[in-house]
Amino acid sequence: MEPKTTAEVSGMGHSMKRKEDPRFIRGKGNYVDDIQLPGMLYMDIVRSPFAHAKIKSINTEKALKIPGVLAVITGETLAKYNLHWMPTLMSDTQMVLPTEKVVYQSQEVAAVIATSRYGAADGVEAVEVDYEPLPVVVDPFKALAPGAPVVRTDKKGKTDNHIFHWEVGDRAATDKAFAEADVVVKQDMHIPRIHVASIETCGCIADFDRVNGKLTVYMTTQAPHAIRTVFALVAGHVGLSEERIRIVSPDLGGGFGGKVPVYPGYVIAVAASVVIGKPVKWIEDRMENLQADSFARDYHIHCELAAKKDGTMLALRSKTLADHGSADAAANPSKYPAGLFSICTGSYDFKHAFAEVDGAYTNKPPGGVAYRCSFRVTEAVHMIERVTDRLAQELKMDPAELRLKNFIPKDKFPYQSALGWEYDSGDYARALKLAMERIDYPALRKEQAEKRARGELMGIGISSFTEIVGAGPSKHFDILGIKMFDSAEIRIHPTGKAIARFGTKSQGQGHETTYAQIVAEELGIPASAVQIEEGDTDTALYGLGTYASRSTPTAGAAGAVAARKIREKAKKIAAHLLEVSPDDLVWETGKFSVKGAPQRSKTIQEIAFAAYTNHPQGMEAGLEAVCYYDPPNLTFPFGSYICVVDIDRGTGQVKIRRFIAVDDCGNIINPMIVDGQIHGGLTMGMAPSLLEEISYDENGNVQGGSFMDYLVPTAMETPAWETDKTVTPSPHHPFGAKGVGESATVGAPPAIVNAVVDALSHLGVTHVEIPMTPERVWRILKEKGVAE
Amino acid sequence: MATHTIEVTVNGEKHQATVESRLLLVHLLREQLRLTGTHIGCDTTHCGACTILLDGQPVKSCTVLAVQADGRQLTTVEGLEKDGKLHPIQQGFWDKHGLQCGYCTPGMMMTSYALLARNKKPTELEIREAISGNLCRCTGYVNIVKAIQSAAEHLP
pLDDT digits (tens, 9 = 90+) for B7-37: 999 999 999 999 999 999 999 999 999 999 9
Alpha-carbon distance of B70 to A418, in angstroms, equals: 69
Q: Do A26 and B77 touch (CB under 8 A)?
A: yes
Domain that holds residue B37: 3-79
Distance from A622 to chain B by nearest Cα, in Å?
35
Check A202, A204, A344, A373 and give the catalytic one: A373
Residue range A32-134+202-283 in CATH 3.40.50.300: no
Instruction: Note if the bond before A472 is cis, omega within 30 degrees.
Output: yes
Give me the residues of chain A with pLDDT under 70, please. 1
> Which of B79, B102, B126 is at the close of a domain?
B79
Q: Do A253 and B40 touch (CB under 8 A)?
A: no
Q: Cβ–Cβ contacts within 10 Å for residue A17, how many?
A: 16
Q: What is the CATH number of the domain that holds B61?
A: 3.10.20.30
Interface mutation target, options A25, A259, A641, chain B, most CBs of B under 10 Å: A25
pLDDT given for residue A239 in this prediction: 87
As beta bridge partners, residue A736 has none
Q: Cβ–Cβ contacts within 10 Å for residue B100, how many?
A: 31
Chain B hits for A197, Cβ within 8 Å:
137
Check A222, A393, A509, A605 and give the catalytic one: A222
Domain co-membership, B125 together with B59: no
Domain co-membership, B70 together with B114: no
Q: How many CB pairs under 8 A join A and B?
A: 178
Q: Do A25 and B128 touch (CB under 8 A)?
A: no
Domain co-membership, B46 together with B25: yes
Q: What is the CATH number of the domain that holds B93?
A: 1.10.150.120
- Which helix (H) or strand (E) segment is A525 a member of? none
CATH topology for A299-471+633-783?
A: Aldehyde Oxidoreductase; domain 4 (3.30.365)
Chain B hits for A287, Cβ within 8 Å:
43
Chain A hits for B35, Cβ within 8 Å:
27
Q: Do B145 and A256 touch (CB under 8 A)?
A: no
Domain co-membership, B47 together with B112: no
Distance from A590 to chain B by nearest Cα, in Å?
27
Q: Do A200 and B39 touch (CB under 8 A)?
A: yes
Q: What is the DSSP string of A462-505?
A: EEEEE--BS---TTT-EETTEE--EEEEEEE-TTS-EEEEESS-
Extended beta strands in A118-262, E state: 128-133, 162-169, 183-191, 203-209, 214-219, 245-248
Alpha-carbon distance of A169 to A352, in angstroms, equals: 8
Domain co-membership, B127 together with B150: yes
Please, is B82 exposed, middle or buried when counting C-beta atoms within 10 Å of its C-beta (0-12, 13-18, 19+)?
exposed
Domain co-membership, B68 together with B114: no
Domain co-membership, B64 together with B113: no
| Cα–Cα distance list, A613 to A53, A573, B35 (Å) | 71, 11, 45
Nearest Cα to Cα of residue A403 among A458, A444, A462: A462
Q: Is residue A600 classed as helix, strand or coil in its secondary structure?
A: strand
- Provide the residue ranges of all domains of chain A, joining segments of one domain with +: 32-134+202-283, 299-471+633-783, 486-629
Residue A742 annotated to the active site: yes
Q: Do A253 and B102 touch (CB under 8 A)?
A: yes
Nearest Cα to Cα of residue A372 among A30, A686, A27, A60: A686
- Do B128 and B119 touch, CB atoms closer than 8 A? no
Alpha-carbon distance of A113 to A282, in angstroms, equals: 9
Residue B1 in this model has a pLDDT that exceeds 90: no
- Which class would CATH give A486-629? alpha beta
> Which of B13, B46, B79 is at the close of a domain?
B79
| Cα–Cα distance list, A725 to A65, A681, A721, A739, B124 (Å) | 63, 15, 13, 14, 25
- Do A746 and A467 touch, CB atoms closer than 8 A? yes
Residue A653 annotated to the active site: no
Domain co-membership, B98 together with B150: yes
Number of independent structural domains in chain B? 2
What is the b/e burial string over A503-519, where b = at least 16 CB atoms within 10 angstroms of the residue's CB? bbbbbbbbbbbbbbbbb
Distance from B130 to chain A by nearest Cα, in Å?
9
Check A372, A386, A390, A658 and give the catalytic one: A372
Q: Which of B36, B76, B128 shows the shortest C-beta gap to A34? A: B36
Q: Do A509 and B100 touch (CB under 8 A)?
A: yes
pTM of the model: 0.98
Q: Do A707 and B141 touch (CB under 8 A)?
A: no
Domain co-membership, B44 together with B62: yes
Residue A446 — φ and ψ, nearest 5°? -65, -45
Domain co-membership, B48 together with B97: no
Distance from B6 to chain A by nearest Cα, in Å?
19
Domain co-membership, B10 together with B40: yes
Distance from A99 to chain B by nearest Cα, in Å?
30
Alpha-carbon distance of A310 to A46, in angstroms, equals: 61
Nearest Cα to Cα of residue A293 among A694, A712, A686: A694
- Do A178 and B79 touch, CB atoms closer than 8 A? no
Q: Do B129 and A679 touch (CB under 8 A)?
A: no
Q: What is the mean pLDDT of chain B?
A: 97
- Which helix (H) or strand (E) segment is A96 a member of? none
- Do A287 and A182 touch, CB atoms closer than 8 A? no
Alpha-carbon distance of A480 to A487, in angstroms, equals: 18
Q: Which of B31, B138, B141 shows the shortest C-beta gap to A718? A: B141
Residue A286 annotated to the active site: no
Domain co-membership, B65 together with B48: yes
- Do A289 and A201 touch, CB atoms closer than 8 A? yes
- Do A520 and A514 touch, CB atoms closer than 8 A? no
Chain A hits for B63, Cβ within 8 Å:
none
Q: Do B97 and A200 touch (CB under 8 A)?
A: no
Residue A373 annotated to the active site: yes
| Cα–Cα distance list, A354 to A21, A164, A341, A389 (Å) | 47, 17, 11, 20
Q: Which of A18, A252, A682 shows the shortest C-beta gap to B97? A: A18
Chain A hits for B115, Cβ within 8 Å:
none
